[in-house]
Every structure is written in structure tokens, then in C-alpha cells.
A and B are shown apart, each in its own frame.
Chain A
Amino acid sequence: MNTHETQAAQVFLAHHDFVRGVALKYAPWPGLMEDIAQQVFLEFMAKESQWDLSTDARPLLATMTRHIAMRQWRERTRQQPEVVQKLADHIRLLAEEREAPPRYEEEISVLRSCLQKLPEKSRELVELYYYNDIGTPQIADQINMKADTVCRALSRVREKLRECIERSTNQGGPAHA
């Protein structure tokens, strides 16, 4: 790789979480975020000679990510039954109309420390489902519980992690509060 290509790759990697955040906003479809981020990387690198790497890459990456996200979202949801397509449409509109900007970048680093604070059983559940790619019905079989109970437990874990992130980002209140 020449120097400019290396620099372009470094620029992308420095903004990887930003790209993921934009992808989430424009393509709220399960499992799509990482595919979009990879595609943005490929297209960004394919045209790397055109980019002025001394300027802020965010506007460029945001535009690229938005286009790719919408394209991939359409491709992915087109394969779904009509009723699921309508649901996906509704959720995409909700995500786009959300007033808050994507906070993926700031939250992902906090999440890592929040994960360390989870009780052991919750951490095991995260490892089984998210890291070992075991589905909720299979987890339910393994631990002899109903699948719905596992779904609710995962939901609670995500809510606990959300609370932990909010707490961490809202620290510094009044001394006596």
C-alpha cells in the first residue's frame, strides 16, 4: 500500500464508530450495521486518491454511509414479506425522525466498561447470545428455561446497560443530590 492508501485506511478506522452510528440511523435492520461499515470502507478506499485527507472526513463519510445504508436497507428488506416490509419502513422513519444525533461513538466506549460491571449471569447471557452466536431458543434449551424468559432477560440486560451508560454520561450532579 502506498502512503496515501495507508493514510486513507487510518482515517477510516479513526471514524469507524462514527460510520457505524450513521449506519444505525439510516438502516435500522438487525445485523446490517457492520455490513454497511465494511461497504463504506471498500468504497472509500476505492476512491482514496480523490480524497483530501487533511480535511475533516466526517461529512464525506456521513454522505457515503447514508447512501450505502439506504441502498443496503432496501435490498435487505425487499426480500421480506410485505407485512415485515411495512414494519421495517415504520422503524426506519422513527429512526430518521429521531431528534437526537447518533451517540454510538461516545456510548460504545462507555458500554465496554459497563459490560464489566454486569452481574455474572447477565455477562454469561451476553457471551452466549452476542459472542457465541447462540439463538435464544438454543440458550433456553441449554439453561432449561422458556425462550420468552431468555428474551426478557436479554431485554433487561440491554436496559441495564443503557442505564449504566446514561449514569456514566450524566455524572457530576450536585454534591448533595
Chain B
Amino acid sequence: MPDTDTLIQHYLEGTLTTAEAEELHELLRTQPELGERLLQHFDMDAMLRATKPLVADNIIRPTLLPKRRFTFATVTSVAAMAACITLLGTWLMNAALDLRPEAEETTASVAVLTRGVNLEWDSATITPGTPLSPGWLKLKSGIAQIEFYQGARVLIEGPAELQLLSSGEATCTRGKLSAQVPPQAKGFRINTPKGTIVDLGTEFGLDVSAANEEVHVFKGEVELHQPTATMKSLKEGQAMAIAGNTAVLTANASSFASLNEIDARSAMSQRFQFEKWLASSSKLNADAGLRLRFDFQDDEGSRSLRNHAVNGGQIEDGSIVGASWTTGRWPGKRALEFRNVSDRVRLNIPGETKALTMAVWVRVNGLDRTFNSLFMSEGWGERKVHWQITRDGKVRLGIAGSAGAHHADHDTPVFFTPERFGRWTHLAVVFDPTAKEVRHYANGELLTRSTLKDTEALKIGIAELGNWNDRRTGGVAIRHLSGAMDEFALWDRSLSDTEIAAQAR
């Protein structure tokens, strides 16, 4: 029997055999998600047919039309005019757009924030692992390590203002920075209000204060360009004011943050966060509405995850299948890596729940499949839930209808873009029958809320983290997650915005 793509194509082409029609119908019955996929192909197929260049036989198919007083021919002038306008509009639009030859994923980022200690931002909050596009970074306090794609590594100390211009150039208007520029990043430029420093493969520090601007060379050589003076060359151990007194001074490395320092402070900060998380665990476990909590701190080599919820007596520990242990959000924090089609954690949530909140810390490595499981009831139907990420990056809570009623999908806008892959993200979803809505959150912030038409209780039953068992024999749909999880919790009540935000801190 042909695969699903081929069946859909045969349906679109009108060449389905009876056996194929039966098979496709059966697949649609057992995999409700396939219905949306088929409809999307159907919509796209219809649109593609409509983009066929205008030729006479495409405008009218007289054999299909009964004779009427008006035909398309009687309004040829109007249609032709409209067509011309459309074609002209399309041509102008295409000419105005910078059309790339391929629809490949692109990114505007030029650098990445690799590490940070006690970061507080005046500009939008960013966390380590975030790719950075050209624009301003306004650091209120803390130390941030930025790696430019050309290879230069820069530490900025708050308060500081840095404008990223390209993968090899930035402007600093305030604060202190130190840069380490390997040979392959030679030519890296930092502009200041009074001049430009061009690095020739070295290490240097820059101090831009309201009163003065100084450059200090720790290793190698830099060029100092000023608008009204000749270029000056500064060598290892030398320092100079960028404007005003141009006497050569002695470089003072100790007044700038070093990579060793950020290593030490970063490790300390991570340890502190880990300890804080450990300390808050017992309070969280005692929450009256908490039914399940895996902290993933089970012994390495263990093949089960202990349910730490004090009131989760009915829910047994989870059973690990395939997934391997790895490092979580901080050194010492354990996590499970889901990589293969077999990887999953199986568990059972018996009974019904009127309200539901689920939260997970997850690192998504990629969205390789049409649906990428976070937490999914086994099979489908009768108020089961499927929490997953679609291939296009939307987080979806699918809730099956009961007694043959249609299911409902509650999607976020596209959230997981390639720039978010490989970073730890807190996701939460709330099924709130009182407010009659489903709410999705990412990193503690509300992503979207959608109306809940059917508030009937949910029946999760046997379920899996990071995978799905559709209970069919043979040809089981592949929906495993490509990534890692290091915490998962489930409540039988609706958590508020504030409570979710607290979870994500």
C-alpha cells in the first residue's frame, strides 16, 4: 500500500483506487491529525492550480457550463482588465521584493549571547543561547559574553550600551568591554563616539565613560583610527585615550572582566540557581493540586522516573524506554535525551480530570517530524490529550471529542523557530473549564489563549513523554521528540498566569 503522501497525492489527482480510498479513510479515522494535513494539501493544491498562468482554456471551460444569459465571454473586457491589473500588481510586487532563489531558512543573527552572570537588561531581556540580530544591547548590570559569528569573543560589563552592526563590527557608546579576537576574526572593529578600533588578532579592553574613552591592549596589536588624526598603532601592554591626551599609557588588564572571571562567576551563578531550584522543590511537591512531578534527579542509570507529587498517590513512577541520561539546565541537573524512534517515558494517569495544567522544561533540538511529542495520551479519542509541537513550530494541545464528537486543536502562533533550537525552554499549557479557555505559555509568558467549546473532563490514561503510541499494529506514526527534558509536572487544577511565571523563573 502506498505511503500517506502518495495516498494524499492520489486523492488530489483523482486516481485513488478503491483499496487506497479505504486505506486513506481508515487512516483519517484513526489519525485525526492527518485530516488537517490532508486539508492543508488540498488547499495548497487548489491554490497552486489557481496560480496557473492565465490562458484561454484556464479562464473558461465551456463544456462544464450550462448556457446562460451571461458567460465569461460577455465580460471579457472586465476580466481582461482585472487580469492585467493583477498581473501588473504581481509583477510590481515581485520586482519590489528581494526574491531569493531558494526558500531556505534564513537568520538575521550576527552573534550569540553565550554566557551571562546576573544579567539585567534595559533593552529586551535575553538569555544565554540567544542568537543576536543587529541592534542595540543595553545592559543594566552583570557581565555578558557575546560571540560574534566571525569569531571574536566580547565581554561587556553593565552598565553598557553596544550596537551590533555585523558579524565583525559593533559600536560601543557606554561601558566597559574586553575582546578576544582570534586570527580568523582579524579586522574585527569596535566603533566608539570618538574613534574606531581595528583589531589585528589580539586581546584588548575598551572603557567608554562619559568623561573619557581608553583602549588597553593586553596581547598583540590594534589600530586606533580617529576622524581628525592619523592612525595609531598600539602594541601589547600599551593603552591610550581615544581623544584628547594621546600619551601612551600602561595597559591595565585587571580593570576589565576576563574570561576566567566569567567562567568562575558563571559556574557560581549556575550552582546558585540549581540550589535554589532544589530548595523550592519540596514546596512545589506539596501543592494540593499537583498529581505528577518528575524532577529527573533519579539515579543515573535508573530506568524509571519517580513521581515526587505528595498528592500523586494514584500515579505510579514513569518507565523510561530507550531515552538516555544527559545534563540538564545546570551542571549537576540531570535530564533525559530523546533521540530515537523508541525513546519515551511511559506513565499512567488514571481517572478523569476537570481541569489540567502541564509544564515542562524542554530543549528542542529540531522539529524533524510532522508532530513532535511533548506529552501524549496513548491512542486517540474519548477526551484524550496530545501536547505536541508541529513541524512549523506551533505548540499544540489537541483534545479528542467524546462519543464521536470532533476533536479540537489549540495552537500557539509559530514559536519554535530555528534560533530557539538547543535552548532550554519552559512550556506550560492550561485547560481551564471555568474560564472556558486553553492557555499556552512559554518561559512564563502567555503565548495565546483560545476558547474552549467543550469543557467535558479529560481522560488521559496511559501516556508518554516525548513520544506517542497510537496503539495500531504496524505502521505506527513516528512522533518522537528530538531533544531533552529535565522537569515535568501535571496539576489537576488551572494554574494562574502568576503561578506559571513563578514556575518558569
Interface residues of A (CB under 8 A from B): 1, 5-6, 9-10, 13, 20, 24, 28, 30-31, 33-35, 38-39, 41-42, 45-46, 48, 81, 83-84, 86-87, 90-91, 93-95, 97-99, 104, 107-109, 111-120, 126, 130-131, 135-136, 148, 151-152, 154-156, 158-164, 166-167, 170, 173-177
Contacts and interface: CB of A to CB of B under 8 A. Distances in A.
Nearest to B4: A155
B352 interface: no
B50 A20 contact: yes
B103 A119 contact: yes
Interface residues on B, range: 35 or more
Nearest to A81: B18
Nearest 4 pairs between A and B by C-beta? A151-B9, A45-B70, A155-B5, A117-B103
A91 B13 contact: no
B38 interface: yes
A176 to B, nearest CB: 5
Nearest to B66: A42
Interface string B16-34: 1010011011001100000
Contacts of B56: none
Nearest to B390: A166
Nearest to A16: B82
A166 B44 CA distance: 12
A105 B49 CA distance: 14
A74 B188 CA distance: 68
B6 A158 contact: no
B321 interface: no
B274 interface: no
B499 interface: no
Contact of A83 (B11, B18, B45, B93): B18
Contacts of B75: 1, 5-6, 9, 45
Contacts of A114: 103
27 contacts: A9-B75, A9-B78, A13-B79, A30-B13, A30-B45, A38-B65, A39-B65, A45-B68, A81-B21, A91-B35, A91-B38, A93-B406, A95-B42, A99-B409, A108-B51, A113-B99, A117-B103, A118-B102, A119-B103, A130-B49, A148-B3, A155-B5, A155-B9, A166-B392, A166-B414, A176-B124, A177-B417
Contacts of A136: 9, 13
Interface in B359-404: 391-392
Contact of B99 (A104, A116, A130, A162): A116
Interface of B: 2-3, 5-6, 8-16, 18, 21-22, 24-25, 28-29, 35-36, 38-53, 60-61, 64-66, 68-72, 74-75, 78-79, 82, 90, 93-94, 97, 99-103, 124, 126, 130-133, 135, 391-392, 406, 408-409, 413-414, 417, 419-420
A72 B461 CA distance: 43
Given A42-B71, A91-B28, A173 B103 contact: no
A156 B5 CA distance: 9
B32 to A, nearest CB: 8
Contacts of A83: 18, 21-22, 25
B459 to A, nearest CB: 21
A13 B78 contact: yes
A84 B15 CA distance: 11
A111 B40 CA distance: 13
Contacts of A173: 417
Contacts of A131: 52-53
B44 to A, nearest CB: 4
Contacts of A31: 14, 49
- Central interface residue in A83, A86, A114, A160, by most chain B CB within 10 Å: A83
Nearest to A10: B78
A46 B39 contact: no
Interface SS majority for chain A: helix
Contacts of B8: 155
A157 B124 CA distance: 37
Contacts of B406: 93, 97
A130 B52 CA distance: 7
Given A31-B14, A119-B101, A176-B130, 15 more contacts: A9-B78, A33-B49, A83-B22, A94-B28, A104-B43, A111-B44, A117-B102, A126-B48, A130-B48, A130-B52, A148-B3, A155-B5, A158-B41, A161-B48, A170-B414
B304 to A, nearest CB: 37
A119 B100 CA distance: 9
A161 B124 CA distance: 32
Contacts of B126: 176
A166 B25 CA distance: 28
B130 to A, nearest CB: 5
A176 B131 contact: yes
A95 B409 CA distance: 14
Given A117-B103, A175-B124, A161 B13 contact: no
Given A9-B78, A13-B79, A118-B103, A152 B5 contact: yes
Contacts of A116: 94, 97, 99
B12 A30 contact: yes
A112 B51 contact: yes
Given A95-B39, A104-B43, A112-B90, A176 B61 contact: no
A138 to B, nearest CB: 11
Nearest to A110: B47
B455 to A, nearest CB: 16
B28 A84 contact: no
B2 A148 contact: yes
- Central interface residue in A45, A130, A151, by most chain B CB within 10 Å: A151
B65 to A, nearest CB: 6
Nearest to A164: B103
A34 B21 CA distance: 24
Given A30-B13, A81-B21, A94-B35, A111 B78 contact: no
